């Protein structure tokens, strides 16, 4: 059997289709002025320095900051419209993934899978994608998908045609052959606005990047869950059930501790009128349980939970007129943020190591009241 060379196997026409498109453009700079731009870098907003450049001509959208490359939007739109009658009403070319808004209230999972099969089948056929120009008054435009032309438009209209699939008006950049898209992955179909559906998808290198990230996540979960991908869901469900039981048990134990702490204080023959309690574990519910058990009429309380070297929560309870006065001062001492409600001052604290200073505020205030009464 004769071994064909690549040159013999593919015709000149096919080689031309696979030719890499130009990625540069020569033009003259009309002006260049210093400028600043606000961007989002790793989720954080920052301002960078650069230049505002105006060119004599450009292949980019003016003032657009660049030109989005082909994401397979036209191909998905054409096949979805032809096969299912789902008309595209909007789209978004996101930084990580894109979506197409389709005029249908819902898309079944099996329909999404079949649409993905059809789209990738078209890519494997290596169909050419060709731009051409027609006159604005041409009857051909009546049969071409578009969003319409501006009323004041004159001259030629750019048409982009996917061989044997569709033709539509478009001014954007496109691959010269569907094979350049490599592959398309339809991620999900989610409910959109006005009874429409958003189809999220990835195309080209984004598919590989997404797959690479998924594999890394799979490796980490494999170590954490001690099982293979096929058992991930079952393992997580089991842990969630265990966690639910554990949380319920912890809540019951915290309630018992709250009652015991309160009773221990109330059973003292000579009680300190000020009750202070701190626990590393616990939450706002625990603080309120202790305060409820003791009763605001029986003591002036300063309760807190959390790591002393980190943040936590605090609660000041007791006679309402005292709490409203000392609460803000304790909040300031603990570098926290709280609110006075229902006779209690409660909130978050970032400096729990200042609890002794906060207690001192309570004692100085009560001593002042006692001296005034005397």
| pLDDT confidence of residue 16 | 47
| pLDDT confidence of residue 15 | 43
- On whether the CB atoms of residues 58 and 27 are closer than 8 A, the answer is yes
pTM: 0.68
The two tokens of residue 99 are 């979506």
CATH label, 73-223, candidates 3.30.980.10, 3.40.50.300, 3.40.30.10, 3.40.190.10 = 3.30.980.10
| pLDDT confidence of residue 275 | 94
Give the pLDDT confidence of 11-21 residue by residue, as tens digits: 444 444 455 66
Place of tokens 């109330």: 266
Alpha-carbon distance values, 46 to 36, 37, 52 (Å): 10, 8, 18
Q: What is the 3-state secondary structure (H, E, C) of 180-220?
A: HHCCEEEEEEEECCCCCEEEEEEECHHHHHHHHHHHHHHHH
Kindly list the domain boundaries of the chain, sorted by start residue. 73-223, 247-373
Max CA-CA distance within the chain? 116
| pLDDT confidence of residue 154 | 79
The DSSP line for 52-100 is EEEESS-SSPTTTTS-----SHHHHHHHHHHHH---EEEEEE-SS-EEE
pLDDT band at 206 (very low <50, low <70, confident <90, very high): very high
Taking residues 218-240, report their average pLDDT. 95
Give the pLDDT confidence of 252-264 residue by residue, as tens digits: 998 999 999 999 9
Q: Give the count of beta carbons closer than 10 Å to the beta carbon of residue 242.
A: 10
Whether 334 shows a pLDDT value over 70: the answer reads yes
Place of tokens 């409660």: 346
- On whether the CB atoms of residues 297 and 273 are closer than 8 A, the answer is no
- Which residue, 101, 157, 160, is CA-closest to 134? 157
| pLDDT confidence of residue 5 | 45
The two tokens of residue 154 are 């004159």
Question: In the chain, where does DSSP find H-type helix?
Answer: 6-9, 12-17, 73-84, 109-124, 205-225, 232-266, 284-294, 320-333, 355-373
CA 69 to chain centre: 23
164: left (phi over 0), alpha (psi -120 to 50) or beta: left
Give the pLDDT confidence of 341-354 residue by residue, as tens digits: 988 999 999 999 99
Give the pLDDT confidence of 137-193 residue by residue, as tens digits: 888 887 787 777 777 887 889 888 998 898 888 877 788 899 999 999 999 999 999
| pLDDT confidence of residue 9 | 44
CATH label, 247-373, candidates 3.30.390.30, 3.10.310.40, 3.65.10.10, 3.40.50.620 = 3.10.310.40
């Amino acid at each position: 059997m004769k071994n064909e060379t690549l040159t013999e196997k593919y015709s000149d026409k096919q080689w031309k289709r696979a030719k890499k498109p130009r990625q540069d453009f020569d033009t003259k700079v009309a002006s260049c002025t210093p400028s600043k731009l606000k961007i989002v870098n790793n989720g954080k907003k920052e301002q960078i320095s650069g230049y505002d450049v105006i060119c004599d001509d450009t292949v980019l959208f003016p003032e657009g900051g660049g030109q989005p490359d082909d994401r397979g939007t036209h191909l998905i739109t054409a096949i979805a419209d032809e096969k299912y009658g789902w008309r595209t009403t909007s789209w978004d070319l996101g930084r990580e993934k894109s979506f197409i808004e389709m005029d249908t209230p819902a898309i079944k999972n099996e329909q999404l899978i079949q649409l993905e099969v059809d789209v990738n089948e078209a890519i494997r056929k290596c169909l050419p994608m060709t731009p051409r120009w027609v006159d604005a008054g041409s009857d051909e435009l009546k049969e071409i998908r578009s969003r319409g032309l501006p009323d004041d438009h004159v001259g030629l209209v750019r048409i982009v045609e996917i061989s044997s699939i569709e033709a539509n008006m478009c001014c954007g950049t496109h691959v010269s052959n569907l094979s350049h898209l490599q592959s398309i992955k339809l991620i999900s179909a989610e409910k959109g606005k006005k009874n429409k559906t958003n189809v999220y998808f990835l195309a080209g290198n984004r598919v590989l990047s997404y797959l690479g990230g998924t594999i890394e996540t799979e490796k980490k979960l494999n170590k954490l869950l001690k099982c293979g991908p096929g058992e991930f869901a079952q393992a997580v469900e089991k842990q969630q059930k265990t966690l639910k039981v554990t949380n319920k048990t912890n809540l019951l134990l915290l309630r018992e501790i709250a009652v015991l702490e309160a009773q221990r204080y109330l059973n003292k023959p000579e009680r300190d009128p000020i009750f202070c309690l701190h626990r590393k574990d616990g939450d706002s519910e625990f603080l309120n349980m202790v305060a409820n058990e003791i009763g605001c009429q029986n003591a002036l309380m300063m309760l807190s939970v959390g790591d002393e070297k980190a943040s936590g929560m605090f609660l000041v309870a007791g006679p309402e007129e005292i709490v409203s006065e000392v609460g803000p001062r304790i909040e300031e001492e603990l570098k926290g943020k709280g609110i006075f409600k229902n006779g209690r001052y409660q909130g978050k604290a970032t400096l729990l190591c200042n609890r002794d200073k906060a207690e001192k505020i309570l004692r100085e205030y009560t001593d002042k009241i006692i001296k005034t009464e005397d």
